[in-house]
């Protein structure tokens, strides 16, 4: 948690600092409120959440009258936290739900380059460190190096990797991975999928098929959508497309270390109605953290 805060604050606290500076002005006129809005929009918070936040801030600042820096800070923290959603269930479900004799199954989906394979590896590491036995399924059979990359992660973290022939059927790799996990009595199977968004129908068919085939052995416990935080609105468009194909149960926002636009957390949750559960804070094996709303908002405010 402390690490999340320090790692995030390096790139994030521009937003909170900017807002605090604006709210500290003696006269909060229309221009100032517009600047507040612009600051939030520039951080990718999104139009509707920005308007809601500004409305609530205006109301509360009015009620407050004179404002001490501590009061302003508290008020802003409070409102940002409400926006981020302090009470969402952000558990990553890796345990089998329902009475099936089978490992928990997590599908990791997203556009290539967002950090899917890396996230799958990092998540594997977290689970192995937690004492679980993990099987990785390399169902991204299209990107030539993806299976090698995943296998390297598997070797690093102590998880077996199930892979198929290059260019083979992703659904059959996914099926095999779950079967292997079941036969071995593994706890969790993490399946890395392909995400070629430029052929939307292809993606629909393929991802839908992967899910259906896996479901022959029981329900999927978690579908994590990996989004690159640095891609802004583009990421939201991707999210929408994926949500049409599979029921996303959680979002992983990667590369938050590389952007000051942390507001994307709010925007993407609104877009999908699904919580951000994990964040990527770097390329290393330990750079995946649970998303903690309070630590996140504290990092924003600095
Ligand atoms: P995939 O095509 O979606 O499987 O993407 P990869 O897992 O291969 O990741 C693409 C690039 O993003 C790699 O260079 C990763 O090291 C990098 N990457 C992934 N997650 C993060 C993150 O949280 N922060 C940073 N800075 N880089 C990341």
Mutate-to-test residue for ligand 1 from 118, 137, 153, 278, highest number of ligand atoms within 8 A of CB = 118
The model carries a pTM of 0.94
Q: What is the pLDDT of residues 236-285, one digit of tens each?
A: 988 898 998 899 999 999 999 888 888 999 999 999 999 999 999 999 99
The residue among 146 and 67 whose pLDDT is bigger is: 146
**Is 5 a residue whose pLDDT tops 70?**
no
90-121, pLDDT tens digit by residue?
A: 999 999 876 678 999 999 999 889 999 999 99
Helices (H), the chain: 2-12, 14-23, 30-42, 47-64, 69-84, 116-129, 146-157, 170-184, 200-215, 233-245, 264-272, 293-301
Rg, Å, the chain Cα set: 21
Q: Does the CB atom of residue 113 touch ligand 1 within 6 A?
A: yes
Task: Report whether pLDDT(169) > 70.
Answer: yes
Residue having the nearest C-alpha atom to atom 23 of ligand 1: 280
152 lines ligand 1 (CB under 6 A): no
Asked if residue 257 belongs to a known ligand binding site, the reply is yes
- Burial pattern 153-162, b for ≥16 Cβ within 10 A else e, equals bbeebebbbb
Q: Which atom of ligand 1 is nearest to the CA of 287?
A: 23
Q: Is the pLDDT of residue 8 over 80?
A: no
Structure confidence at residue 200 (pLDDT): 62
- What percent of the chain shows pLDDT beyond 70? 93
280 within ligand 1 shell (Cβ under 6 A): yes
pLDDT at 55: 96
Band (78; pLDDT cuts 50, 70, 90): very high
* 124 annotated among ligand-binding-site residues: no
Average pLDDT for residues 2-20, to the nearest whole number?
73
């Amino acid at each position: 948690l402390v690490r999340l805060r320090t790692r995030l604050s390096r790139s994030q606290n521009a937003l909170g600092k900017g807002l605090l500076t604006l709210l500290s002005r003696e006269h909060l006129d229309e221009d100032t409120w517009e600047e507040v809005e612009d600051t939030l929009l520039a951080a990718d918070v999104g139009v509707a959440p920005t308007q809601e936040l500004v409305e609530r801030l205006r109301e509360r600042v009015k009620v407050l009258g004179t404002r001490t820096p501590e009061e302003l800070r508290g008020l802003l923290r409070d409102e940002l936290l409400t926006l981020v959603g302090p009470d969402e269930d952000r558990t990553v479900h890796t345990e089998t739900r329902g009475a099936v004799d089978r490992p928990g199954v997590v599908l990791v989906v997203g556009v290539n380059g967002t950090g899917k394979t890396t996230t799958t590896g990092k998540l594997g590491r977290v689970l192995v460190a937690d004492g679980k036995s993990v099987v990785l399924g390399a169902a991204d059979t299209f990107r030539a190096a993806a299976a090698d990359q995943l296998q390297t992660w598997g070797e690093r973290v102590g998880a077996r990797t199930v892979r198929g022939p290059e260019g083979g059927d992703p659904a059959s790799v996914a099926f095999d991975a779950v079967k292997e996990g079941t036969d071995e009595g593994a706890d969790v199977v993490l399946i890395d999928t392909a995400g070629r968004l430029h052929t939307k129908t292809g993606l629909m068919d393929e991802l839908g098929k992967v899910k259906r085939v896996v479901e022959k052995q029981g329900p999927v416990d978690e579908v994590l959508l990996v989004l690159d935080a640095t891609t802004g609105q583009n990421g939201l468009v991707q999210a929408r497309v994926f949500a049409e194909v599979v029921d996303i149960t959680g979002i992983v926002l990667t590369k938050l270390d590389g952007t000051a636009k942390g507001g994307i957390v709010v925007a993407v949750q609104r877009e999908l109605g699904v919580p951000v559960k994990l964040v990527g804070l770097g390329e290393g094996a330990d750079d995946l953290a649970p998303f903690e709303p309070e630590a996140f908002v504290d990092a924003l405010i600095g």
